[in-house]
Amino acid sequence: MASMKAKKKCCRDRPRCKACPVVLKRLSDAGLLEREGKRRYSFDAKPPKAAVAQARAA
């Protein structure tokens, strides 16, 4: 199981970066990541590129 750590603060750029806490929260809400702690997320398989692109663009 791999894990990923979110950045401390969102920079609010468009599109959002991959380590943005907002993007990771959106992926977590979609069921693609599991939240382990305040800023740590884990996943078995990498989320699909399309799902990441949609989370970054929204």
- Please give the order of strands across the beta sheet that includes 40-43: 2-5, 40-43, 34-35
pLDDT value of residue 49: 96
pTM confidence score: 0.92
Local confidence band at 37 (pLDDT 50, 70, 90 cut-offs): very high
Residue 46 has pLDDT above 90, yes or no: yes
CA distance 38 to 11: 18
Local confidence band at 1 (pLDDT 50, 70, 90 cut-offs): confident
Decide if 51 contacts 32 (C-beta within 8 A): yes
What average pLDDT score do residues 3-22 get?
94
What average pLDDT score do residues 9-21 get?
93
